[in-house]
Amino acid sequence: MARFAKLFALANAVAVLAFAGPALATEAHYTCSDGSKLAANFSPPDTAKGSVALTFGTGRELKLTQVLSADGGRYADADIEFWIKGQSATLTMKGVKETCSTQ
Query: What CATH number does the domain containing 62 carry?
Result: 2.40.128.200
End-to-end CA distance of the chain: 51
The answer to whether residues 98 and 89 touch, using CB atoms and an 8 Å cutoff, is no
pTM: 0.72
CA gap 56, 103 in Å, rounded? 14
Answer whether residue 7 is part of any domain: no
Answer whether residue 86 is part of any domain: yes
What is the structure's pLDDT at 25? 52
Domain range for 59 is 24-102
Answer whether residue 8 is part of any domain: no
Q: 74 by DSSP, 3-state: which? A: strand
Answer whether residue 17 is part of any domain: no
Q: Which residues of the chain have pLDDT under 70?
A: 1-25
What is the structure's pLDDT at 11? 33
Write the burial class of residue 36 (CB in 10 Å: 0-12 exposed, 13-18 middle, 19+ buried): middle
CA gap 58, 14 in Å, rounded? 40
